[in-house]
Structures are given as C-alpha cells and as structure tokens.
Chain A
C-alpha cells in the first residue's frame, strides 16, 4: 500500500480524530433516548458520521489518482510534543486563586509557551510570527494600553513578512496608532486604556 494523496491522508486522519474525540468526550454526558435526547445524543451521532467520512477520505488517499506528497505543509513534530507536555503541566499546576502574583505570571508564561509551541509546529515562519504578535496584542492591551500593544502587533507582524523596512513600519505604526486611538477609543468609545495602566 502506498499513499498517493497526502492531502487526503491527513484530512482523513484529522476527521477521524475529531469524530472519535467528540464521541469519546460525549460519553461523559447523558445519552437520553430518541424521544428525549440527552446532551450526548446529537454529538455522538455526528461524531460517528464524521469518523466514517474521515475513514473514507483516509482510504481514498491510497487509491486516489491525484498525487500529492505527504508533506503538505511545514510540520515540526517536536514542537507539538513539547507544546503538549508543557500544556499538560500548565493544566495541572493551575495556581490557586489566592496564589501570589509571581505564581500567576509564571503559570501564564508556561501556558503561553505551550500554546506558542503548538502554533509554531505548523506552517511557515510567517504563520507563527504573525499569529503570535496578534496573541501578544491581546494580552498586552490591558496592561500596556492600546498604543504599545499596537506597536507590538505592527512590528511583530511586519517582521513576519518578506520585507521588513524599519522606517516604513515605524510610519505605519504611528499612523495606525493615531487612527486606532481616535477611531476606536474616542470615536466608538471602546473601553480600552490608551497608555499603560500604571501611568494613569
């Protein structure tokens, strides 16, 4: 048996995994019966259908006339393994509500690193650089304010592209920061602080 269509192979595997996962997790909820369906009923049925379709796509990968290599997109296995390990550690070491600020920050950093690794496992450099700058923007918005968070996003994402010209990006940053402050905070009245919280 030889895999001819790499895209079908991975797509099938993904659908099977999703289908089975939804079916398995559904087992934690009440099934009910056809008259009174419990929360597990519909997802179990759908998960089963998805797994079957996934299996069909998976098998098609071996007989398909369309040839695609198995390496469909950049994939780094060790990043996934590392991300999963860190993620599990982060999940089970959640600090208590009254834990100190340092413990909280350490935990968030750990979780962030885990997720970052999972993002970085797929795709080209631009994928994880750009998406990571977006996530950073989200987490910096409250503590550092709109202007600095925008800076992180613009410089980060521009660095993820092909060309990075400092002057051009700086102009872009200044223009967008001014626009964002006036349009979103002053104009639309979105509740965001413009400058870092500790300066207010």
Chain B
C-alpha cells in the first residue's frame, strides 16, 4: 500500500508538470472533438498524430495519446444522445436510450449522467490499473518465449471471438495481418521478405499506413456512400444536473458498468467497444422493468457509458505489463512507444517509472478535465455537430496526408496508405473486420521471433508449449474460447448480442 502511494505520488508529480498537463489537456480536447464527430475515431486520430509525437518526450507523447482514447469515450456519448448517431463505435448502444431521453426533453440529464458515470468509472479504473499492473508485470517478467507465444495466440483468438460477424473470417483476417506484418527485412537472416525489390518495403509496411488507410480513409468513403442525415434534435441543452431520482436509479448501473467494463478491458481483445455492449446487455437482464429499455431508461445510458470508459482505461493494463495490445488503439500505443525507442513489456514499469506512473496519474487528471470540458462546455460541442460532413472530411484527409507524409517525408507512404484505403473499403464490403488484422499485423514479427526462440530452446520440440504450465493454461483458454463460440447455443447468443445492439 505504501509502495502504491509512493508510486502514485511520483506519478502525480510527473503528470502535474506544466508540460504534461498541457499535453494531457490537448489529448482530452482532441479526444472529445473526434468523439463528438462521427466518422473519425481514435484509431485514425492517433495514427494521424503518431508522427507529431516524434518531437515530444515519451511521457508527454503517451499521456496525450492516452487522453485521446478515453476522451473519445466522453465525446462519443454526446453525439449518440443528441443525434442518434454514434460519435464513436463504443457509444452505439448509448443511442438506444440516450436519444430517446433527448426526445423526451431530457437530453441534459442523459449527458450529465453519462459524464458522471464516465468520471466515476475513470477514477475507479485508474486505481485498478495502479493496483493490478505491478503484480502482473512481475509475473510477466518470468515469461519465456514459449509463454509469450501462447499469450499472443490467446490474445489473437480472444480478439476474433469478440469481433462481430463471422468468426472464421476474423481468424483469416488475423492470419492475413500476421503475414502482412512479416513483410520487410527478417531480423534473423537479413533477407528482405515480400518486398518485390521496392526499397521502401524492406523496412516493412508502415503500421500507420495500414491503420490510417483501413480505419481513416475507408471510413470516409463509406460515410460518403451513405447519404448524410444528421439532425440535431436538441439545439440547446438545459438542466444538465440529473435529479436525485435519476442518480438513485442509475447508481447501481454505474457500479455494475464500471465493474464489468474494467474486467472486460483487461481481457485480450477487450476494450471500450466490448465493454459498452456487454454492460447494456447486463443492465437489461438485471433490470426489473426491462421493458423501459430502448424507451429512454437512464440506466441504459449510465451503464454503457461507465463501462466504455472503464474498459478504455483498463485495456492499458495488458499493454503496460505484457507489451501485448488488446485492441487497435493499444496496437498504436505500442507503435508510439517503439517510435520513442521504448520496448513495450513488463520492464517499462521498473525501467521507466516516471512514464508508467505518470501516465496512470494523468488518466485521473484527464478525467477531471473531461468532466469540465463536457458539462459546462457542452454547447460548444453541439455547435460542432452542425458542421456538415462535406466540410469535415477534406480537413480530416489533409491531417491524415500531412501525418503520413511526415513519417519519412516520402510520398510512398501516402500512396501506401491510399492503397490500404482501397483494400479497407473492400474489406468492409466483404464483412471482413479490420480490427483483428491490425492486431495480427503488430504481433506478426513478435510472434515469429518468440516462436523461433522457443523452438530453438526446446531443440525443435513443439510440445514445449504444452509442457510449461503458464503456456499450457493460455492455450487451453484459447481453445476453450474457440469451442464455446463454435458451440451452437453460444453462437446464437453471440449473433443476437451483436444484432440487438
């Protein structure tokens, strides 16, 4: 306990420095902004900003990028509630009851409870990270290559199980991602693989290009294909403070949402999106009058909004302790760490305590800023929603273009990103989820490396993965996950859960 307090003290010392406060603020403002705006998500934004973080020191860079992710969870609810369009994919379920509340003239309390729930969840999950990350990192330090390989298998399987749509397509996308990740020079032999003699490709396909092409460009094209319909139902929000009755109604939901979200965020493949869906379903199950859901039940706003914020934050745990990303945003955070020359993994906590604890402390500060940004300043964000999309996407494209170009000051990266835009569009049309691909892409080289090492150490004996207890456990969990999804009963439920939402 004492160690925890010393560590948090150190963290707040770092996070409260003027510079870090500024970048935290920038992060949460940007996060709220892109959260409010439909059609651009944290993945594309963080990808866009990665080149900018070159010039910052690592702690400030990560504090800002983290702020974008959890900030987007706050902003996303605003759009969901006011115009029935998810500003962020993790706010999809908030539309159901949030928009209904707005129609009944209760947009204020809906926004208020979303912010209060998010803030509560943010505080709790900050403490959870501080409590659980150190012991996990300790365990992770004992991991050998076999354990790491199995852990990655588990992470990737979990990511596919939790992706919506067809399981087999998701697995295929993971493998395709792993393969694309292998493009470039092989560290062991020095051979440039799959580069077709193109010198730019011998460094590998740029991660930013893939992420931005698939999540940024493809998104924009899809948005343009659908005719724009946006109606701000509530032009002026009054009475943001929920009544006592509202708070009493939603307090248990906030607690449940926070608990569930924190748990699901830690799981590989988890994060804000899954957390919000699960929380809504749970709330509907436990509620005494579940008929109210979809008709403006405040619990239907409180639970998923708390859960997505909790999940967004606790998904940093696997990143900070194991160096394994659990969702595309975390994959980008790994990219940001590597740009700064930090190898993600359990040693980050011991070798760079300022970075580790500074980032955790900044989350709490960031949450406080977000409440202020989102409640009194809500009018500003509503104004933003009246900006038509046709004015927005050229701006987004410009920022993307400048971002990719400045990665290595070459038009090749821009071309590559545009190519992934085309591919990303095709994937969307074929119902192939890109999120598992991104995870595979970042894990490809790591997985190969650990597989090689494990096999070398065991002298070619593949049973090593089953002989080591931790590795075996993880593989068993992975197999179990696959089995339960394939089982007809669960399969039906899973489809329902995604369709319903």
Pick the contact of B179: A22, A36, A131 (CB < 8 A). A22
Decide if B422 touches A11 in the complex (CB within 8 Å).
no
CB proximity of B498 to chain A, nearest CB, Å: 14
Q: Which residues of A lie under 8 Å from residue B217 when comparing CB positions?
A: 130-131, 134
Decide if A29 touches B417 in the complex (CB within 8 Å).
no
Decide if B425 touches A127 in the complex (CB within 8 Å).
yes
Decide if A157 touches B425 in the complex (CB within 8 Å).
no
CB proximity of A21 to chain B, nearest CB, Å: 9
Please encode chain B, from 439 to 463, with 1 for each CB lying within 8 Å of some chain A CB and 0 for all others: 0000000011001100110011010
CB of A196 closer than 8 Å to a CB of B: no
Q: Which residues of B lie under 8 Å from residue A138 when comparing CB positions?
A: 401, 404-405, 411, 413-415
A30 to B394, CA, bound (A): 46
Q: Which residues of A lie under 8 Å from residue B409 when comparing CB positions?
A: 191
Decide if A119 touches B411 in the complex (CB within 8 Å).
no
CB of B431 closer than 8 Å to a CB of A: yes
Pick the contact of A43: B182, B404, B413 (CB < 8 A). B182
Q: Which residues of B lie under 8 Å from residue A14 when comparing CB positions?
A: 426, 430
Decide if A172 touches B462 in the complex (CB within 8 Å).
no
* A50-B175, A119-B422 given; A36·B393 CB < 8 A: no
Pick the contact of A157: B171, B394, B459 (CB < 8 A). B394
Decide if A42 touches B55 in the complex (CB within 8 Å).
no
Decide if B448 touches A42 in the complex (CB within 8 Å).
yes
Decide if A160 touches B405 in the complex (CB within 8 Å).
no
Pick the contact of A134: B51, B390, B406, B418 (CB < 8 A). B418
Pick the contact of A46: B52, B175, B189, B400 (CB < 8 A). B175
Decide if A157 touches B391 in the complex (CB within 8 Å).
no
Q: Which of B52, B401, B425 has the most CB of A within 10 A?
A: B401
A126 to B168, CA, bound (A): 31
Give the interface SS of chain B, mostly helix, strand, loop or mixed: helix
Count of B interface residues, CB-CB < 8 Å: 64
Pick the contact of B172: A15, A137, A163, A190 (CB < 8 A). A15
A49 to B179, CA, bound (A): 11
CB of A57 closer than 8 Å to a CB of B: yes
* Residues 103 to 161 of chain A near chain B (Cβ within 8 Å): 115, 118-119, 122-124, 126-127, 130-135, 137-139, 141-142, 150, 153-154, 157-158, 160-161
CB of A197 closer than 8 Å to a CB of B: no
Decide if A72 touches B224 in the complex (CB within 8 Å).
no
A85 to B459, CA, bound (A): 48
Decide if A57 touches B172 in the complex (CB within 8 Å).
yes
Q: Which residues of B lie under 8 Å from residue A35 when comparing CB positions?
A: 455-456, 459-460
CB of B199 closer than 8 Å to a CB of A: no
Count of A interface residues, CB-CB < 8 Å: 71
Q: Which residues of B lie under 8 Å from residue A60 when comparing CB positions?
A: 168
Closest to A171 in B: B391
* Residues 159 to 199 of chain B near chain A (Cβ within 8 Å): 166, 168-169, 171-172, 175-176, 178-179, 182, 186, 188-189, 191, 193-194
Q: Which residues of A lie under 8 Å from residue B462 when comparing CB positions?
A: 34
CB proximity of A185 to chain B, nearest CB, Å: 10
Please encode chain A, from 46 to 73, with 1 for each CB lying within 8 Å of some chain B CB and 0 for all others: 1101100110110010000000000011
A130 to B389, CA, bound (A): 14
Pick the contact of A161: B393, B419, B460 (CB < 8 A). B393
Please encode chain A, from 152 to 194, with 1 for each CB lying within 8 Å of some chain B CB and 0 for all others: 0110011011110000110010001000100010001111100
CB proximity of A54 to chain B, nearest CB, Å: 6
CB proximity of B407 to chain A, nearest CB, Å: 11
A56 to B401, CA, bound (A): 38
Decide if B179 touches A46 in the complex (CB within 8 Å).
yes
Decide if B191 touches A39 in the complex (CB within 8 Å).
yes
For the A-B complex with A39-B186, A138-B401 known, give 6 more contacts whose Cβ atoms are closer than 8 Å: A10-B430, A14-B426, A37-B448, A47-B179, A123-B425, A131-B421
**B interface residue numbers (CB < 8 A to A):** 51-52, 55, 166, 168-169, 171-172, 175-176, 178-179, 182, 186, 188-189, 191, 193-194, 217, 220-221, 224-225, 227-228, 390-391, 393-395, 397-398, 400-402, 404-406, 409, 411, 413-415, 417-419, 421-422, 425-426, 429-432, 447-448, 451-452, 455-456, 459-460, 462
**A interface residue numbers (CB < 8 A to B):** 7, 10-11, 14-15, 18-19, 22, 25-26, 29-30, 33-39, 42-43, 46-47, 49-50, 53-54, 56-57, 60, 72-73, 115, 118-119, 122-124, 126-127, 130-135, 137-139, 141-142, 150, 153-154, 157-158, 160-163, 168-169, 172, 176, 180, 184, 188-192
